[in-house]
């Protein structure tokens, strides 16, 4: 997830429904009627409709894919622009109508994720797309990750990547997204879930070990979420991984994602995104304008003054080291380098902004409630 910019496309889980567009659909009665294998006419595998106003529809994330910028959003809408400022057009034949919440790129390989466990991949910079994964809610599967929306995605190279989502969902691929496996980020133990290919070949999902899903007294004393929504994932310059979640929960890995340690942030509210920097620098942002920064992968933290209580939904660091955060009511926070104070401006539309692409000093492309736009403070 690194080219001219480093970004985090994590969007709020469970709040500001307009900005994210999901209300944990797996829990309502309509969703419980759906099977895990989509019917031929299910929207999750139907082609996205080409719509004349797609450029001003809800867009949730944006990334630079080398030859062009790629933005993703509701109803499977994918937009591209070679200028990254204007000239946006909708891509045809996108193989889903599920909401797309996040996108990442390694050179010309672009991967998008979203509702219904959807994963799409493009190998030509976002011009054509293939569906690699879909998982609808299955009422017969007791695993809370069953049918969970995916909220962020990170690739460390063309083959190796991670996706995070609701109910502590962490997926891993080692083949460029062709197959995915669950990762036990909560260290609960028990049988490993089969890969998507194994399920397609007829493998049965393992029965859950009830004892492994219980928490001890210490966990209960901390009042931790048992299955926190994982909202964002980032990689530091040292190659370590960091995930932010609900209720101040966070997770870190120093071995490439093979094992994870749960930690607690100083702020007990939810963090919606994280940006990785040089060394083991991480910048977390989220609810009520809270921003925390660490230079040691979360062992110690410094709170950064933002001057706002508006929730921050997305952020990016440009090639020149400038960091930009965006969020509610059109808030745009920027700083020139790590440690500097954030300066606040407001996008003229005054709407929820979900992600940003830093083009250069004082030049940003933002996406959100009213689509995509070029912004200069």
Which CATH number does the domain housing residue 172 bear?
2.120.10.30
What whole-number distance in Å separates Cα of residue 276 and Cα of residue 22? 26
Are 186 and 140 in contact by the 8 Å Cβ rule? The answer is no
Residue 32's CB is within 10 A of a number of other CB atoms, namely 14
Are 193 and 182 in contact by the 8 Å Cβ rule? The answer is yes
pLDDT computed for residue 208 by the predictor: 38
pLDDT computed for residue 200 by the predictor: 47
Instruction: Evaluate whether residue 340 is within a structural domain.
Output: no
pLDDT computed for residue 11 by the predictor: 41
Average the pLDDT over 218-227 and give the result.
55
pLDDT computed for residue 224 by the predictor: 58
Instruction: Evaluate whether residue 74 is within a structural domain.
Output: yes
Instruction: Evaluate whether residue 312 is within a structural domain.
Output: yes
Q: Each residue of 27-83: pLDDT tens digit?
A: 333 333 334 579 988 999 999 999 999 999 999 999 999 999 999 999 999 999 999
Residue 202 has pLDDT above 60, yes or no: no
pLDDT computed for residue 338 by the predictor: 81
Dihedral of the alpha carbons of 353, 176, 76, 128, in degrees to the nearest 10: 110
Distances (CA, A) of 151 to 8, 116, 154, 165, 229: 11, 11, 11, 5, 9
Average the pLDDT over 160-178 and give the result.
98
Distances (CA, A) of 116 to 96, 120, 141, 226, 245: 10, 12, 15, 22, 20
pLDDT computed for residue 339 by the predictor: 77
Residue 317 has pLDDT above 90, yes or no: yes
Instruction: Evaluate whether residue 372 is within a structural domain.
Output: no
At 15, phi and psi to the nearest 5? -140, 160
Instruction: Evaluate whether residue 308 is within a structural domain.
Output: yes
Among 305, 341, 303, residue whose Cα is nearest residue 322: 341
Residue 218 has pLDDT above 60, yes or no: no
More confident call, 224 vs 25:
224
pLDDT computed for residue 225 by the predictor: 65
Average the pLDDT over 293-322 and give the result.
96
The rounded Cα 114 to chain-centroid distance in angstroms is: 8
pLDDT computed for residue 188 by the predictor: 82
Residue 270 has pLDDT above 50, yes or no: yes
Unique residue bearing structure tokens 């595998």: 45
Instruction: Evaluate whether residue 359 is within a structural domain.
Output: no
pLDDT computed for residue 2 by the predictor: 34
Q: Please, what is the average pLDDT of the chain?
A: 86
Average the pLDDT over 101-105 and give the result.
98
Count how many Cα atoms sit within 13 Å of the Cα of residue 189 in the half-sphere of its side chain.
7
What whole-number distance in Å separates Cα of residue 345 and Cα of residue 104? 26
Residue 173 has pLDDT above 70, yes or no: yes
Range in 75-79, 216-220, 279-283, 367-371 with the lowest mean pLDDT: 216-220
Task: Give the range of the structural domain holding residue 197, as residue numbers without chain letter.
Answer: 6-204+225-319
Percentage of the chain surpassing pLDDT 70?
81
Q: Each residue of 237-264: pLDDT tens digit?
A: 999 999 999 999 999 999 999 999 999 9
Strand partners, 173: 161
Q: How many domains does the chain have?
A: 1
pLDDT computed for residue 36 by the predictor: 59
Range in 84-98, 192-206, 253-267, 320-334 with the lowest mean pLDDT: 192-206
Percentage of the chain surpassing pLDDT 90?
75
pLDDT computed for residue 337 by the predictor: 86
Q: Each residue of 107-146: pLDDT tens digit?
A: 999 999 999 999 999 999 999 999 999 999 998 998 889 8
Instruction: Evaluate whether residue 329 is within a structural domain.
Output: no
């Amino acid at each position: 997830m690194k080219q001219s910019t480093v970004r985090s496309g994590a969007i709020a889980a469970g709040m500001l429904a307009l900005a994210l567009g999901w209300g944990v659909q797996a829990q309502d009665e309509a969703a419980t009627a759906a099977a895990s294998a989509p019917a031929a006419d299910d929207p999750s595998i139907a082609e996205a409709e080409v719509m004349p106003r797609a450029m001003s529809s809800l867009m949730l994330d944006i990334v630079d894919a080398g030859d062009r910028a790629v933005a993703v959003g509701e109803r499977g809408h994918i937009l591209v622009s070679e200028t990254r400022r204007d000239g946006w057009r909708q891509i045809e034949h996108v193989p889903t109508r599920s909401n797309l919440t996040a996108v990442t790129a390694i050179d010309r390989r672009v991967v998008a994720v979203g509702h219904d466990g959807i994963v799409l991949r493009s190998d030509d910079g976002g011009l054509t797309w293939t569906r690699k994964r879909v998982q609808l809610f299955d009422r017969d599967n007791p695993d809370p990750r069953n049918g969970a929306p995916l909220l962020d995605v990170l690739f460390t190279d063309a083959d190796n990547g991670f996706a995070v989502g609701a109910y502590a969902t962490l997926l891993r691929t080692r083949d460029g997204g062709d197959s995915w496996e669950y990762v036990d980020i909560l260290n609960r133990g028990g049988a490993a879930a089969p890969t998507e290919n194994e399920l397609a070949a007829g493998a049965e999902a393992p029965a859950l070990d009830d004892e492994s899903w219980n928490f001890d007294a210490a966990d209960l004393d901390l009042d931790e979420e048992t299955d926190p929504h994982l909202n964002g994932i980032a990689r530091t310059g040292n190659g370590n991984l960091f995930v932010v979640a609900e209720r101040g929960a966070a997770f870190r890995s120093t071995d490439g994602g093979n094992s994870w340690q749960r930690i607690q942030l100083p702020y007990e509210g939810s963090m919606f995104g994280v940006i990785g920097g040089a060394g083991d620098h991480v910048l977390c942002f989220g609810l009520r304008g809270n921003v925390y920064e660490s230079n040691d992968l979360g062992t110690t933290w410094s709170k950064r003054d933002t001057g706002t209580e508006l929730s921050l939904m997305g952020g990016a660091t440009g090639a020149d080291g400038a960091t930009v955060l965006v969020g509610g009511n059109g808030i745009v926070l920027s700083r020139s380098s790590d440690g500097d104070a954030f300066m606040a401006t407001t996008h003229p539309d005054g709407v929820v902004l979900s992600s940003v692409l830093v083009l250069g000093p004082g030049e940003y492309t933002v996406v959100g409630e009213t689509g995509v736009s070029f912004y200069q403070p």
